[in-house]
Structure 1
Amino acid sequence: MDTLYLGTKTLHIILVASWFAGLFYLPRILVNLAMVAPDSHAERERLLLMGRKLQRFATVLMVIALVTGLALWLGWPFWRGPGNAWVHAKLTLVVAVIGFHHMNARLLRGFERADNRRSHVWFRVYNEISVLLFAAIVALVVFKPF
C-alpha cells in the first residue's frame, strides 16, 4: 500500500479518536453543569471554562479529522464499486456526529446564558449518543456489512 495513504489513514484514525474523546467528555461536563447548585458560581464558571476549552479543542480536531477523511475519500476512491455501500452509511453517521458536535456547542451556550431547562438525567441519556455513534461507525468500518 501507498505510504502516503497509510500515513493519512493513521492520522485520520488518531484525529477521530481524539475528537471523540471530546465528544465523550463534553456531555459529561453538561451533566455536571445541570447539577450545579444555583448559588455555586465558582463551580459553574469553572465547568463553563472547561466546557468552552474542550469544545474549541474538539472543533479543531473535528476539522482536521474531516480534512484527512476527505483526502482519503477523494485521493483513494476505494468507496467506488460494488460492496462499498458501508462507506456511504458511515458518511451518513459522520454527518450525525457533526450534528451532535454542534448540538454540544448549542447546549453549552445555553448554560452560558443560564438558559438551560433540561435535567441532569436528560444529559445523562444524551451523553450516551456519542458512544452509540462511535460504536456504529467502528462496526461499519470493521465489518463492512454491505
Structure 2
Amino acid sequence: MLATLYPWIKALHIMAVISWMAGLFYLPRLFVYHVERGHDAQGMDNVFQVMELKLLRVIMNPAMIVAWVSGLTLAAMPWVLNTSAIWPYSKLAALIGMTWFHIWCARRRRIFAEGGNTLTGRHYRMMNEVPTVLMVIIVLSVVVKF
C-alpha cells in the first residue's frame, strides 16, 4: 500500500514545500516594504498588515503543516531514508532552521500588528536570505545524498 501511495505523497510534499518556500521568500519582502513605505500613504499600514496576515495564515501555515506531515510520512517508509548517511540529518537540521524562520516571521508580523516594529528594511533584507541558504542545504542534501 505504501509503495502505491509513495509517488502521491512525494508529489504532495513537493507542492507543499514550494508553497511554503514562496511564502518564506515573500513575507520578509513584505516586511521591507511595510517598514519603508507603510506609513507613506494613509491606510497603507493596514493594507500591509492584511497582506502579511493572509499570506501567513492562508498559505504559509497550511503549507508548512502539509510539508511536515507528508515529509514525516515519507521518512516513515523504510526504503526512503538511509540513516547511516549524513544527508537526512543535514536536511533535518535545515528543516528545523526553516521552521524557526517561519516562527520568527510570524512573531515579526504580530509585532507589526501591535505597532512595535523596531527593525529596519535592511534587517529584513538580510533575514530574507535565510530561507535561501536553508533551501540550498536541503536540496543538496536530498539530491546529492552526501
**Fold equivalence (TM over 0.5):** yes
**Alpha-carbon distance, 1:7 to partner:** 1.3
| Separation in 1, partners of 2:15, 2:135 | 14
After superposition, what is the alpha-carbon deviation per residue over 1:46-68, rounded to whole angstroms, capped at 9, x for unaligned?
01100000011200110011000
| Separation in 2, partners of 1:37, 1:47 | 7
Q: How does 1:103-122 map to 2 (within 5 A)?
A: 103-122=104-123
1:72 aligns with 2:92: no
| Separation in 2, partners of 1:16, 1:63 | 10
**Alpha-carbon distance, 1:3 to partner:** 3.0
AA at the equivalent of 1:116: N
Contact 2:32 2:125 in 1 (8 A): yes
AA at the equivalent of 1:75: M
SS in structure 2 of the partner of residue 114 of structure 1: coil
Equivalent residue for 1:29? 30
Structure 1: 5+ residue stretches without partners: none
**Alpha-carbon distance, 1:79 to partner:** 2.0
TM-score (norm 1): 0.91
Equivalent residue for 2:55? 54
Q: Once the two structures are aligned, what percentage of the paired residues are identical? A: 34
SS in structure 2 of the partner of residue 130 of structure 1: helix
| Separation in 1, partners of 2:129, 2:30 | 13
Equivalent residue for 1:18? 19
Contact 2:16 2:66 in 1 (8 A): yes
| Separation in 2, partners of 1:21, 1:81 | 29
List, as ranges, runs of 4+ consecutive aligned residues in structure 1 with deviation greater than 4 Å.
none
Q: How does 1:87-102 map to 2 (within 5 A)?
A: 87-102=88-103
**Alpha-carbon distance, 1:44 to partner:** 1.0
TM-score (norm 2): 0.91
Alpha-carbon RMSD = 1.7
Structure 2: 5+ residue stretches without partners: none
